[in-house]
Amino acid sequence: MCSNSHAVFIEDEEEKHMLKKSKDALDPQSWCGLNRPDRKETEVDAVLFGIPFDGGVSYRGGAAEAPEILRANTKHSTPSTERLYYYDKFNILDAGDFVNEDRDALFAEVQEYVRELVKNNVRFTMVGGDHSVTIPVERGIDDALDEEFGIIHIDAHMDLCDALEGDYLSHGNTERRALELKNIKSLENLFFIGIRSIEPDEFEFHKENKIQVKTAYDCYHEGIEAVAGCCIERMRKFKKIYITFDIDALDPGFAAGTGTPQFGGLTPRMALTLLEKLFTNLPIIGFDVVEIAPALDPSLAAMFAGRKLLQEVWGYWADDIGKLEKVEKEI
| Burial per residue of 108-142, b for 16 or more beta-carbon CB atoms within 10 angstroms, e otherwise | ebbbbbbbbbbeeebbbbbbbbbbbbbbbbbbbbb
User: Cα(178)–Cα(195) distance, rounded to whole angstroms?
Assistant: 18
Q: Mean pLDDT across the stretch 125-139?
A: 97
Contact predicate 153/191, CB 8 Å:
yes
Query: Nearest-CA neighbor of 314 among 3, 41, 48?
Result: 48
Residue 249 inside a domain? The answer is yes
> How sure is the predictor about 108, in pLDDT bands with cuts at 50, 70 and 90?
very high
Residue 20 inside a domain? The answer is no
Residue 172 inside a domain? The answer is yes
Question: What pLDDT sits at residue 328?
Answer: 82
Write the pLDDT tens digit of every residue in 233-248.
Answer: 999 999 999 999 999 9
> How sure is the predictor about 15, in pLDDT bands with cuts at 50, 70 and 90?
very low
Query: Nearest-CA neighbor of 260 among 61, 55, 51?
Result: 61
Q: Mean pLDDT across the stretch 272-286?
A: 98
Residue 299 inside a domain? The answer is yes
> How sure is the predictor about 14, in pLDDT bands with cuts at 50, 70 and 90?
very low
User: Cα(41)–Cα(279) distance, rounded to whole angstroms?
Assistant: 22
User: Cα(285)–Cα(125) distance, rounded to whole angstroms?
Assistant: 9
Contact predicate 291/171, CB 8 Å:
yes
Q: How many domains does the chain have?
A: 1
- Enter the DSSP assignment of 266: B
Q: What is the CATH number of the domain that holds 159?
A: 3.40.800.10
Between CA 44 and CA 50, with CA 45 as vertex, the angle to 5 degrees is 80
Residue 330 inside a domain? The answer is no
Write the pLDDT tens digit of every residue in 200-228.
Answer: 999 999 999 999 999 999 999 999 999 99
pLDDT at 119 > cutoff 50: yes
Range of the domain at 109: 30-320
Residue 104 inside a domain? The answer is yes
Residue 327 inside a domain? The answer is no
Write the pLDDT tens digit of every residue in 141-192.
Answer: 999 999 999 999 999 999 999 988 888 888 899 999 999 999 999 999 999 9
Residue 14 inside a domain? The answer is no
Question: What pLDDT sits at residue 330?
Answer: 74
Question: What pLDDT sits at residue 302?
Answer: 97
Question: What pLDDT sits at residue 67?
Answer: 97
Q: Which residues contact 24 (CB under 8 A, 6 or more apart)?
A: 30, 68, 71, 72, 75
CA atoms within 13 A on the CB side of 81: 22
